Amino acid sequence: MARCLVTGGAGFIGSHLTQKLLADGHHVKVLDNLSTGRSDNLRDVAGHERLKIMQGSITDPVLLAEATQGTDVIYHLAAAVGVKLVAEDPVRTIETNIYPTDSLLRLAIQGGQRFYLASTSEVYGKNAKSDWCEEDDLQFGPTSRPRWAYGCSKAIDEFLALAYHQKYNLPIVIGRFFNVVGPRQVGNYGMVIPRFVEQALAGGPVTVYDDGSQVRCFAHVREVVDCVVSLTESDDARGRIFNIGSDQPISMRQLAEEVIKRVDPAVKIQHVPYQEVYGDNFEDVNRRVPDVTRLRETIGTSPSMPLGDLLDDIIAAKRSA
Ligand code: UDP
């Protein structure tokens, strides 16, 4: 039994992680400002005797110190997320993603906690390789394009975590999430699967940006949080970076067709230019596929749920919401 802090614990991934940790018998403190997270996400565990929810911001240093007190493990998931939100407010992205991570890492050096840092596939930028390995180059676009503020801010977090590991032997592990999806994810922040499902359930059209040839791999959140916990508990993972995601690619056009086939074959697809959604200065990532060899070699598994099962689960959850 461990005493865990989950920052961003009311968020989509954070709430699934909180549920898993409670189910595994741990004590969990959640720190969340309920901006993109929602208290409703924790509804299934509300009132749990081993759960404490602290509402507040990770940008408040006093609260951070209080939240870390008496804990053994820190899962740091709180961040400004969602390509749309990030493109609209790069200053907030940088403030939320960098300074609080540094403060938390410093607190962990004093408190001796194990530290899981949630990072993102956005750190690879638009690397043209077909599969991305943890040691690949990061290739961001110009600073005049705000999208890259997110990946850059998380890359700085990674540098900080690795530096504190090297300097103070802080037991950190970094996980780069690749398009995590599942029940409770909402479409408001631009994420494609909840958007497609919500649009299809409302009768359409399903909005495919550009020509729909962009490629992504989608991983079920329950498989992802299992990987997060296994990595954090593994001594072999210490001081290292891991891709966490599915390695089964699909284009956005095909994805739209798969959603429509399941919800209502009469729904139409509408192609929308990026400019209409994100304004000028937006750049998309054409292909994003992780190499998950390191993850498999270290914890013996990686997210593998077939896309069809994943979509069925999400559609069922949205229908019953
Ligand atoms: N996308 C789309 N229609 C939408 C929302 C997103 O075609 O309504 C595309 C988006 O341009 C990107 C892909 O779906 O190529 C995944 O977008 P998301 O924001 O979910 O994640 P990203 O991988 O871009 O972080």
Per-residue pLDDT, averaged over 254-261, amounts to 98
Structure tokens at 216: 């992504």
**Banded model confidence at residue 312, pLDDT cuts 50, 70, 90:** very high
Q: Closest Cα to residue 214, out of 258, 259, 255, 252? A: 252
CATH number for 3-180+221-246+286-304: choose from 3.40.50.720, 2.40.50.100, 3.30.430.20, 2.30.40.10.
3.40.50.720
Per-residue pLDDT, averaged over 312-316, amounts to 96
Q: What number does the ligand 1 atom closest to the CA of 193 have? A: 20
pLDDT, tens digit, for every residue of 285-297?
899 999 999 999 9
Residue nearest to ligand 1 atom 19, measured at CA: 191
The sign of the CA dihedral 40, 41, 42, 45 is positive
Q: Closest Cα to residue 82, out of 144, 147, 167? A: 147
Min mean pLDDT across 32-41, 61-70, 161-170, 233-242 is at: 32-41
Q: Is 208 in the pocket of ligand 1 (CB under 6 A)?
A: yes
Give residue 95 CA to ligand 1 midpoint distance, Å.
24
pLDDT in the model for residue 260: 98
**Banded model confidence at residue 317, pLDDT cuts 50, 70, 90:** very high
Domain boundaries, the chain: 3-180+221-246+286-304
Distances (CA, A) of 65 to 11, 61, 106, 118: 21, 6, 10, 19
pLDDT in the model for residue 140: 93
- Say what the alpha-carbon torsion angle 259, 301, 156, 162 is, to the nearest 10 degrees: 180
Average pLDDT, the chain: 94
Distances (CA, A) of 251 to 114, 271, 273: 37, 14, 16
Please tell me whether residue 57 adopts helix, strand or coil conformation.
Answer: coil
pLDDT in the model for residue 136: 97
Q: Is 83 in the pocket of ligand 1 (CB under 6 A)?
A: yes
pLDDT, tens digit, for every residue of 121-138?
999 999 999 999 999 999
pLDDT in the model for residue 279: 79
What one-character DSSP code corresponds to residue 29? E
pLDDT, tens digit, for every residue of 145-166?
888 888 999 999 999 999 999 9
Those residues whose C-beta lies under 8 Å from the C-beta of residue 126, and which sit 6 or more positions away, are: 139, 140, 141, 283, 285, 286
Min mean pLDDT across 17-26, 196-205, 277-286 is at: 277-286
Per-residue pLDDT, averaged over 110-120, amounts to 97
pLDDT at 89 over 70: yes
CB atoms < 10 A from the CB of 219, how many? 26
Min mean pLDDT across 12-16, 40-44, 72-76, 282-286 is at: 282-286
Structure tokens at 109: 């050096």
pLDDT in the model for residue 321: 80
CA distance 4 to 71: 6
**Banded model confidence at residue 83, pLDDT cuts 50, 70, 90:** low
**Banded model confidence at residue 278, pLDDT cuts 50, 70, 90:** confident
Q: Is 22 in the pocket of ligand 1 (CB under 6 A)?
A: no
13-32 as b/e, with b when 16 or more CB fall inside 10 Å? Answer: bbbbbbbbbbeeebbbbbbb
Q: Which residues are known catalytic residues?
A: 150
pLDDT at 280 over 80: no
